[in-house]
Structure 1
Amino acid sequence: MTSAIDPPPPAALRLIATDLDGTLLRDDKTVSDRTVAALAAAEKAGLEVFFVTGRPARWMDVVSDHVHGHGLAICANGAAVADLHADGKLVKVHPLERDIALDVVRTLRAAAPGTSFAVELATGIHYEPVYPPFHLDPGATVAIAEKLLHEETPGTGAPVLKLLAHHAELTPDDFLDLAGTAAGDLASFTRSSPTALLEVSGPGVSKASTLALCCAERGISPAEVVAFGDMPNDVEMLRWAGTSYAMGNAHPAALAAASGRTASNDDDGVAVVIERILAERRTPGSAL
């Protein structure tokens, strides 16, 4: 088991920002009793906790019982802020414009033949016939991306939160590199899946950009934030936070971006650091 490695938690910590899959959640998609207790103790100590994930709001049931205080979560890699106290109602959206999404589709079809697409709307996900099906979303429309992105009247469709692009033959990192080279000037590209599945957001939209906005609204600076993550879609957030930890199971890009490293998700790496933070706060004479 890997213990938390330097740096020490910030002296003026006010907010904990954590990814879910591969980070807060164990591999079986549960939250351990130890982590539940650590989250509750952090809130009791006056620290805000933000879940910051690539998941859509409708897939947040795994942690909705553990959201205290404000009840907000940053979803879809920063494209939406959801109120989990109100059944995942979206309170803010940073959309991918449909014309940009169509340009990305055309560009990736040419650069990586065989790419298939899904479209994550504020109202749910829809995908192409050859795209790996979403068994959690049986009501999805199945059609080509151009049809899924079409609006009868411009501006009347549900906001596009992100575009998903899948390739059956390329490696995940090669696909990300290729897409960034071909269409990186159009949108933001990242990934969080072990397969060649890319997540495409609006230009400049990331976990970090939306977390920064939420923190600014609360008068919280990056130096007062500690962040946790494990995959390329966490890189910007790990760099933005004053203190950040990559999980012991993290992708090399996340390890390089973080200022520290903790135990793996299955070894409760987030709880390890939170417990350390709270213990130092209770230590007489501590700066925390």
Structure 2
Amino acid sequence: MTSATDTPLPAVTRLIATDLDGTLLRDDKTLSARTVAALAAAEEAGIEVFFVTGRPARWMDVVSNHVQGHGLAICANGAVVTDLRADGELLTVRALERDAALRVVHSLRDSAPGTSFAIEMTTGINYEPSYPPFHLDPGAAVALAEKLLHEDVPGQGAPVLKLLAHHTEMPPDAFLALARTVAGEQASITRSSPSALLEVSGLGVSKASTLAACCAERGISAAEVVAFGDMPNDVEMLGWAGTSYAMGNAHPAALAAASGQTLTNEEDGVAVVIERILAGR
């Protein structure tokens, strides 16, 4: 793998796709002045910037003031495309079918006793009594996953964006490997947290597949995209983009998927590459 200064840049960069936590954001969840300036300079140069994150749309206030003129962001690991200029309006929803979510719940309960679950819907998050509480979402309903996923009228409930599975004892990567083994045919399973917290989306839903669709709508090829990420949920995107960078603080899976490596999120690793792209124009 080559460094930020050695990785060949595409002849034309039309879109930058960047993860947020552990990538664009510093550890205190803020953007540095250097990163803000780099994002603004990219926009001025006509390069679109897409924030591509596992976060739900309602947690995008950390970057909403810095979104490009198009206003779009890809959230929930590709389950939604949202318009941050329109109060987080959901423009595209790629839902996880409730039956598939239930099958994953039952598979993980059987294979990893002690797993607890949360359900992220278009209306917000709800979780089981044993799941770590979401202090940012005090209005969440608390019940077993079966009840949370139940629909009084089939097909009439709010779309499910993600199923979250948490384990208090298993190593994170071991939990991910187990889940993919026992339930990988039911859904797309990944993780972005340092803890044993899995994120389960509809089969085929990923940051990469939704980003590819957004690029196709704009006539942008993968070769014209530069992507940044740090965790397993970024792997598909890093592999899809023509040029990609894992952060200096990245998970080994992200490092293996990327074509290059930049500095850490605390060292403005994304800004360093953007500045290099602009200097070469």
TM-score range (shorter-chain normalised) is: over 0.9
**Counterpart in the other structure of 2:134:** 134
Letter in 2 for 1:223: A
For the 8 Å contact 1:6–1:261, the answer to whether it is kept is: no
Large movers: runs of 4+ above 6 Å: none
Secondary structure at the residue paired with 1:198? Answer: strand
Q: Confirm or deny that 1:214 pairs with 2:214.
A: yes
- Indicate yes or no: 2:205 matched with 1:196: no
Displacement of 1:6 in angstroms is: 2.8
Aligned partners of 1:104, 1:21: CA distance in 2, in Å?
26
1:258-277 correspondence to structure 2 within 5 Å: 258-277=258-277
Render the CA deviation track for 1:221-278: whole Å, top value 9, x for unaligned: 0000000000000000000000000000000000000000000000000000000000
3-state DSSP of counterpart to 1:162: strand
Q: 1:61 to 1:205 in 2, by over 3 A?
A: same
Alignment-derived partner of residue 106 in structure 1: 106
Aligned-residue offset at 1:12: 1.2
Contact 1:16 1:49 in 2 (8 A): yes
The 2-side partners of 1:18 and 1:201 are apart by 20
Supply the distance in 1 between the matched residues of 2:106 and 2:189 (Cα, whole angstroms).
15
Please give the residue correspondences for 1:26-105 in structure 2 after superposition, counting only pairs within 5 Å.
Answer: 26-105=26-105
Structure 1 stretches lacking a partner, 5+ long: 282-288
AA partner of residue 66 (structure 1): H
- TM-align CA RMSD: 0.9
The answer to whether the 8 A contact 1:3-1:272 is kept is no
C-alpha offsets along residues 110-161 of structure 1, whole Å, 9 cap, x if unaligned? 0101000000001100000000000000000000000000000011111000
Identity %: 80
Query: 1:284: which partner in 2?
Result: none
C-alpha displacement at 1:8, in angstroms? 2.1
Deviations 1:164-201 (A, max 9, x none): 00000000000000000000010000000000000000
Residues 190 and 199 of structure 1 are in contact (CA less than 8 Å); yes or no, is this contact kept in structure 2? yes
Q: CA deviation at 1:220?
A: 0.4
Provide the C-alpha distance between the structure 2 equivalents of 1:69 and 1:260, rounded to a whole number of angstroms: 28
Equivalent residue runs for 1:98-177 within 5 Å: 98-177=98-177
State the AA in 2 paired with 1:224: E
Q: Secondary structure at the match of 2:280?
A: helix
Q: Which residue of 2 aligns with 1:285?
A: none
> Is the partner of 1:179 in helix, strand or coil?
helix
SS of aligned partner of 2:90: strand
Query: Displacement, 1:103?
Result: 0.6
Q: Is the 8 A contact 2:3 2:260 kept in 1?
A: no
The amino acid of 2:223's aligned partner reads A
* Equivalent residues of 1:94, 1:161 under 8 A apart: yes
Pairs aligned (count): 280
Q: Distance in 2 between matches of 1:224 and 1:217?
A: 14
Report if aligned partners of 1:232, 1:254 keep a CA contact under 8 Å in 2: yes
Q: Who is 2:13 aligned against? A: 13
Deviation at 1:212, TM superposition (A): 0.3
